[in-house]
Amino acid sequence: MRKKSIYLDYQATTPVDPRILDAMRPFFAEEFGNPHSSSHIFGNNSARAVASSRAKVAQLFKCGAEDVIFTSGATEANNLALLGVFGQRSPIRKFVTSAIEHPSVLEPLEQLKRRGAEVVVLPVSRSGFVDTAALAHELDGGPTLVSVMAANNEIGVVQPLREISDLCRRAGAWLHTDASQLVGKQPIDLASVHWDLLTLSSHKIYGPKGVGALIASYAVREVLSPLTFGGGQENGLRAGTVPTSLVVGFGIACELAADLLSSEPASLEVLRDRFIAELQALNMPFEINGTMQARLPNNLSVRVKGIDAITLFAMAPGVAVSSGSACSSASAHVEPSHVLKAIGLSDDEARSTIRISVGRFTTIEQVVNAASQLAAGVAKLRELGAIA
Ligand SMILES: Cc1ncc(COP(=O)(O)O)c(C=O)c1O
């Protein structure tokens, strides 16, 4: 069944691009050296590969290579950004975030609240935008860190980052952005928009799982406390051997993302819009969650009145889509998504939501086939009287 399944869950993770896999291969075998072993050629070759990848990551975001701290992924990068700026060396005591952040932002902030930090969670509109007037109100000149994601992993809405960045700069607040979903979809230029901390993940951009980065400005690095101890790696900010093969894959993933930035987003949008057109042509009744005006080109989040998404998936097993974020559906009890609730949906509306995300290897044929399977599944549920 897996072979016949059509994968439309690229926001959960992407398959590794074969070009990336080829580049990684030698670093599992003949170039296996520890990049921190500076006394021999094995280590030095590995260190050179890590340095070259660091430069590739930096090039995509127009920052300095020294700003890049490799981590195990976006979850760790978010934890390091938030928990790391609440140390003795840092003045930050107030955090402002949004209600639709990934749990790897919201849960560390819960921890910080217990440790005495002030945490403000901003509301979002029905369209999915963070309330920037409320943000401006919270920026009172005190040492504050604002954490707002670039693009949402469930509804795909892209936040007005330039406006948020300007507000933070004027108020002297630091800005952290989880950009894991926006990379490769829109340019992110740290030379022209001011950011202090940026979170990245390799497996959202066709690289391997288990690697990502936190980009941190010099001013932040000066006060950032590490979360792991026991090695001086990453300038003392992330102890642990840097996994050369994964980092090499991440570097090539960034290089490919840069090369494809002028063409790939437009192709993804064509596929996504075709999906919408197919559902309409098949008379499948649905409503789109969040605005279409500022949205990732590969995301579609729709609710089908009266259905339960999980029941629909059982009717259309040949389509691999998601009922929300992979992370929330992986937790022990499936609560309605906090993102969908935050934009004002009821529990039933949230449960009737399907997230479809296309990617680099999606074809028009797959889109047409998947749309027809989903529409047939809805028709079958209606026949069975399973639609409320
Ligand atoms: C917005 C966002 N942040 C963080 C993560 C976690 O990423 P990682 O798997 O690299 O830890 C994800 C992935 O699900 C995500 O979509």
Q: 355 φ, ψ to 5°?
A: -105, 125
Judge whether residue 2 has pLDDT over 80.
Answer: no
Which residue, judged by its Cα, is nearest atom 4 of ligand 1? 74
| Among protein residues, the one whose CA lies closest to atom 13 of ligand 1 | 12
Mean pLDDT, residues 90-102: 97
Work out which ligand 1 atom sits closest to the CA atom of 76. 11
1, pLDDT greater than 90:
no
71: three-class secondary structure by DSSP: strand
DSSP labels for 8-40? -BTTT--PPPHHHHHHHGGGGTTT---TT-TTS
Look at residue 385 and tell me whether its pLDDT is greater than 90. no
Confidence (pTM): 0.96
By most ligand atoms within 8 Å of CB, the mutation choice from 176, 188, 204 for ligand 1 is: 204
Alpha helices in 227-353 (DSSP H): 244-260, 264-281, 309-315, 326-330, 338-342, 347-351
CA of 200 to the centre of ligand 1 (A): 8
Residue 3 has a pLDDT of 64
Mean pLDDT along residues 361-371: 98
For atom 7 of ligand 1, which residue has the closest CA?
Answer: 74
Determine the atom of ligand 1 nearest the C-alpha atom of 212: 10
153 Cβ below 6 A of ligand 1: yes
Length of the chain in terms of residues written: 388
Residue 181 Cβ inside 6 Å of ligand 1? The answer reads: yes
pLDDT beyond 80 at 333: no
From the list 63, 168, 254, 327, the catalytic residue is: 327
The yes-or-no answer on residue 327 being catalytic is yes
Q: What does pLDDT average to over the chain?
A: 95
Position 332 scores a pLDDT of: 52
Percent of the chain scoring above 90 in pLDDT: 91
Report whether residue 151 contacts ligand 1, using a CB cutoff of 6 Å: no
CA 141 to ligand 1 center in whole angstroms = 31
Q: Are 53 and 246 in contact (CB under 8 A)?
A: no
Q: Taking Cα atoms as reference points, which of 73, 128, 79, 124 lies closest to residue 105?
A: 79
pLDDT in tens, 196-227: 999 999 999 999 999 999 999 999 999 999 99
Mean pLDDT confidence for 329-337: 67
Distance 281 CA to ligand 1 centre (A): 34
Say yes or no: CB of residue 74 within 6 Å of ligand 1: yes
Q: Which atom, in ligand 1's list, is nearest to the CA of 201?
A: 10
Ligand 1 lined by 73 (C-beta under 6 Å)? yes
pLDDT of residue 194: 86
The predicted pLDDT at position 231 comes to 87
Nearest atom in ligand 1 to the alpha carbon of residue 326 is: 14
Q: Is 178 in the pocket of ligand 1 (CB under 6 A)?
A: yes
Any atom of ligand 1 within 6 Å of the Cβ of 212: yes
Averaged pLDDT for residues 154-181: 97
Average of pLDDT values for 264-272?
98
For residues 79 and 109, give the distance between their C-alpha atoms in angstroms, rounded to a whole number: 9
Q: How far is the CA of 35 from the centre of ligand 1 (A)?
A: 26
The predicted model gives 262-289 an average pLDDT of 97
Query: pLDDT confidence of 324, banded at 50, 70, 90?
Result: low
CB atoms within 10 A of CB 192: 10
98 lines ligand 1 (CB under 6 A): no
pLDDT at 330 over 70: no
What confidence score (pLDDT) does residue 113 get?
98
Output the pLDDT for position 215.
98
Name the more confident of 231 and 143: 143
Give 89 Cα–ligand 1 centroid separation in angstroms: 28
Average pLDDT over residues 144-157: 98
Q: Residue 191: is its pLDDT beyond 90?
A: no
* pLDDT of 329: 46
For residue 148, the CA-to-ligand 1 centroid distance in Å is 14
Query: 49 falls in which pLDDT band (50, 70, 90)?
Result: very high
Report the pLDDT value the prediction gives residue 18, as an integer from 0 to 100.
Answer: 98
For the chain, the maximum distance between any two Cα atoms, rounded to a whole number of angstroms, is: 71
Residue 92 confidence class, pLDDT cut points 50, 70, 90: very high
Q: Does the pLDDT value for residue 369 go beyond 50?
A: yes
C-alpha distances (whole Å) from 50 to each of 27, 65, 72, 242 are 11, 11, 14, 8
Q: How far is the CA of 147 from the centre of ligand 1 (A)?
A: 15
Ligand 1, atom 16: closest residue by C-alpha: 153
Handedness of CA 158, 106, 250, 273 (dihedral sign): negative
Mean pLDDT, to the nearest integer, of 87-114? 96
Q: Which amino acid is at 358?
A: V
